[in-house]
Amino acid sequence: MKTQGVSLMTLTDTHLSQEGMTEVGKFLQQEGLEGGGIAAKRERQNEGWEFSARRRAGIYYIWDPTKLTVHGIEEVYTSRVARACIRVIDSGKEITVYGVYMPVRDNKAEKTEEIWEALTQDITEGGTRNFIVNGDFNAETEAWISKSGKTQKEEDVIYQGILEDLNLVASITEDYTFERAQTQIDNIL
């Protein structure tokens, strides 16, 4: 990370428990990095004859402590949206970085709109003008859908509405971000 000049990474869908995040943090310290995040939510799932508990979602930030100071990571929506308050050491500039992992498309078990509302409320009530939203949105912009010839889904409509309502711009517009499916579901706003 340091050799590439990267000061901050946001990982989504980590599946990490609190204990797992602690272990990752210990490893990062050995590498001269720091990390923290929100734990993945335990979910019970019937797998045939057995019930198993697995974790889903979770957000984890990794940063270079010589470049950034992170003074707070909070859960905005259970295991799906996190907020990190960051200070750039050289300039003293404060920035809020939201990490997002939205449910997969057409997942009727989770209320995607409710998660977007929680994020929108946190941004608008937080009063910060310096923020970034990044992660796996599991939705695509109108421009990408048009360019790729796909059909717009309900999650795409919600995503586009949020972009317009908050006056946000998707920074990755020219190429797909998820190679296997050739989609643009991951982005930085």
**What DSSP line would sit under 8-75, residue for residue?**
EEEEES----HHHHHHHHHHHHHTT-EEEEEPPEEEEEEETTEEEEEEE--EEEEE-TTTEEEEEEEE
- How is residue 84 written in tokens? 């990190």
| Helix (H) or strand (E) run with residue 123 in it | helix 112-126
pLDDT at 49: 42
pLDDT at 64: 95
- The pTM assigned to this predicted structure is 0.84
Burial code (b: 16+ CB inside 10 Å, e: under 16) for 16-39 equals beeebbeebbeebeeeebbbbbbb
Distance of alpha carbon 14 from its chain centroid, rounded? 10
pLDDT at 182: 55
What distance in Å separates the CA atoms of residue 84 and residue 15, rounded to the nearest whole number?
Answer: 19
Strands (E), 78-145: 81-88, 94-101, 131-136
For 167, phi then psi, to 5°, come to 55, 50
Q: In what order do the strands lie in the sheet with 94-101?
A: 68-77, 81-88, 94-101, 131-136, 186-188
Backbone CA torsion sign across 182, 183, 185, 188: positive
Query: Who contacts 44 (Cβ-Cβ below 8 Å, separation ≥6)?
Result: 51, 52, 53
pLDDT at 181: 53
pLDDT at 76: 93
pLDDT (tens place) for every residue of the chain, 189 residues total? 777 788 999 988 888 888 888 999 999 999 999 999 998 776 555 444 444 455 667 899 999 999 999 999 999 998 899 999 999 999 999 999 999 998 877 766 567 888 989 999 999 987 777 899 988 888 887 877 887 788 888 888 888 888 888 888 877 666 555 555 555 566 677
Considering only CA atoms, which of 146, 96, 103 is closest in space to residue 125? 96
What distance in Å separates the CA atoms of residue 187 and residue 160, rounded to the nearest whole number?
Answer: 13
